[in-house]
Amino acid sequence: MDADRQQRRDDSIPRRLTDQAFADVSARFPLHDLTRVRDFLEIVSGQSRPVFHAYQSTKLPPVHFPGLPAEPFYETSAFAEASDLEQEFELIRDEAGCLLTGAVTPKLYESKGITRWPKWKKLTFYEQGRSGRVPETFEQFPATGQLVDRLVPEYEDFLSIGFLIQDGNMRLAPHIDWFNLYVSLWLPIIVPAGCGIEVAGERRELKAGKCIAFDNSFMHSSWNDSNEPRIVFAIYRLTPRITRIEAKAFMYIREAYGKQFGLAAATASARLQ
């Protein structure tokens, strides 16, 4: 009996948290459809299970925004900045040349839970959103930095902007990112023969000067079978498949309730293992 009472008490905590957060968001954004935001709160607090598409991870904690289409690759027309990037391709390419000469040294890419990739490097203008501006990169790449500064005010939210370098004779193992709200927009800058990307079982070539976009929450990998580095200019930002109000609501929830929902998700994950 005591165990049943404890279980009911444990189940009531995420319900109250969800109700409180949704009431708060609804008051801030009245007269807007927040159905998917409510569903997201119930998923992340462990009250309901997400519906995954094929090639997406089913691991918990379930930080998963519902109702997004099965869209491993995006049409780049969904990204307003894609045409600007393509128009500025030569400018970006000219500045990125120093990454080949050794004049600027990118950092090795490392991530929690991922084996270190010694031939995968990055050099970012922003890391972990607006608060993670890297002044040194803006100084090293001033023209590209001006372009970045034009783009950033248009984003509701983003995680990183910068160069990704995949050295020659390297194949990146298939992997899945933990959250489906953020997607990648790439402008390939330097693309030797033998480079490509696969997302959800679909392979595509990279073409210098032509943007490509994909959802990192689907199983994806890339390869560079040449002897030369491959460089892309990469933006990791919110998916264009949510509304501006949903984006603002998500950002508010993350700021105001992130730690509480993180604990609720971890508790739900442990219980369902």
* Model pLDDT, residue 65: 95
Note if the bond before 61 is cis, omega within 30 degrees: yes
* Model pLDDT, residue 107: 62
Burial of 64-89, coded b for 16+ CB within 10 Å and e otherwise, reads: bbbebeebbbbebeebebbeebeebb
Q: Residue 38: which of 13, 60, 20 has the closest Cα?
A: 20
pLDDT < 50 stretches in the chain = 1-9, 108-117
Q: Which CATH number fits domain 73-238: 2.60.120.330, 1.10.10.10, 1.10.3720.10, 3.90.550.40?
A: 2.60.120.330
Residue 238 tokens, joined? 């919110």
**pLDDT tens-digit map of 196-209:** 999 999 999 999 99
Q: Could you state, in order of their start, the residue ranges of all structural domains in the chain?
A: 2-68+242-272, 73-238
Burial of 24-50, coded b for 16+ CB within 10 Å and e otherwise, reads: ebeeebeebebebbbbbbbbbbbbeeb
* Model pLDDT, residue 109: 46
Whose tokens are 């309730």? That residue is: 257
Neighbours of 211 (CB within 10 A): 23
At 107 the three-state DSSP class reads: strand
Q: Residue 213: which of 59, 36, 106, 80 has the closest Cα?
A: 80
Radius of gyration of the chain (CA): 20
CA distance 34 to 105: 45
* Model pLDDT, residue 217: 94
Q: At what angle do helices 244-272 and 2-28 cross, to 10 degrees?
A: 170
Residue 159 tokens, joined? 């995680």
Contact 124, 141 (CB under 8 A): no
Contact 142, 22 (CB under 8 A): no
Helices (H), the chain: 2-28, 35-44, 82-87, 89-96, 98-101, 135-140, 142-151, 244-272
